[in-house]
Amino acid sequence: MISKDQYVSQLDEALAFIKANASFLVVSHVQPDGDAISSTVVVDWLLERMGKKAVLVNESELPSRLNYLRHFDQILSLKKQKLEASFDAVIAVDCADNRRMGEVSSFFPEGCAILNIDHHPTNNRFGSVNVIQPHAAATAEILFDLIERAGMTPDLDCATAIYTGLMTDTGGFRYSNTSPRVMEIAAKLLETGVSGSKLADHLLEKMTMAKLKLLQMSLARLTFSEDLRIGWVYIGKNDLTDCGAVPEDLEGIVNYALNVDGVEVGILFKETNDGAVKASLRSAGKADVAAIAQTFGGGGHVRASGCRLDGPIEEAIRVLVDAVRKALV
């Protein structure tokens, strides 16, 4: 836990870092979610107002449902384009460690300065300057504080992006990370004209037919431990293609395992094309899934974390479920 003074000092260091450089590469984590993409465009908004240049990039394909965000179309995906831009420094947002930037980090010049802005408790402080606030519900919350510290006020575009980050990382303001500060910020953003109801409908309620097919397939595989304290589903490496789905359609599926009465940990296993297995873990509150994920080289939050395991998927399921079972003893 950091004090208020320490946090303000971190924000000041971040602003000094930005002032000291002219151009930036802004990157968020692989398989970006709402907070990652929102934070990317919010940083871009701030840099523009500070007279700086920015190149926005992500290793993965971008979630199309976020295409309403300002400058979404300016985020370069390494899946579709090559990164050829030059830059003075890097700003990493919502990345718990440097591996989460994926292949983007291979483009960094040796000794390149990095500003690391994140809210994950397991962040390994890989930046030259680090702004880490584990009590923030989302990285977008930290960026709101950074903008305020810079003496600026978000316009509607910026406010919409921050609200998106807050809403997606709090599950529509339902998760335990929905703090009084989150609601205070949300209220300020709504006052700028953000349509919270439209965003909630678009991001939390609607789904494509492809996602519905993927969900049907997943629920048919929903499995529980004998004591019903652990629930899990798995997605094979060809399932997305077979359903006509995209990676962003995986979001929220793990909650169907967690939301059954009595389940304390829900897990989504996703087989990758190289035969490895990615696991997303969610806790109902008693289990620290960040600690479990860290034993496999992953990390995240106490109630929401992820890790990567060796395949085959049957063995990955056995190993991780066994680790969760032991953690629940």
Mean pLDDT in the chain?
A: 96
**Residues 228, 200 share a domain:** no
User: Domain residues for 54?
Assistant: 4-204
List Cα–Cα distances, 204 to 186, 198, 312, in angstroms: 17, 10, 32
pLDDT bracket for residue 314 (50, 70, 90): very high
- Spatial neighbors of 191 by CB under 8 A, at least 6 apart, are none
Instruction: DSSP letter for 89, please.
Output: E
Domain termination residue (choose one: 156, 173, 204)? 204
191, 155 contact by CB (below 8 A)? no
80, 63 contact by CB (below 8 A)? no
Instruction: DSSP letter for 83, please.
Output: -
Domain termination residue (choose one: 165, 180, 204)? 204
160-174 pLDDT, tens digit per residue, is: 999 999 999 999 999
C-alpha to C-alpha distance for 195 and 203, rounded to whole angstroms:
12
Q: Which tokens belong to 175?
A: 């998760």
Instruction: DSSP letter for 231, please.
Output: E
3-state class of 308 per DSSP?
Answer: strand
Q: How many CB atoms within 10 Å of residue 67?
A: 10
**Residues 186, 69 share a domain:** yes
Domain termination residue (choose one: 182, 204, 226)? 204
**Residues 29, 174 share a domain:** yes
226-279 pLDDT, tens digit per residue, is: 999 999 999 999 999 999 999 999 999 999 999 999 999 999 999 999 999 999
Residue 258 sits at the vertex; the CA angle it makes with 257 and 259, to the nearest 5 degrees, is 100
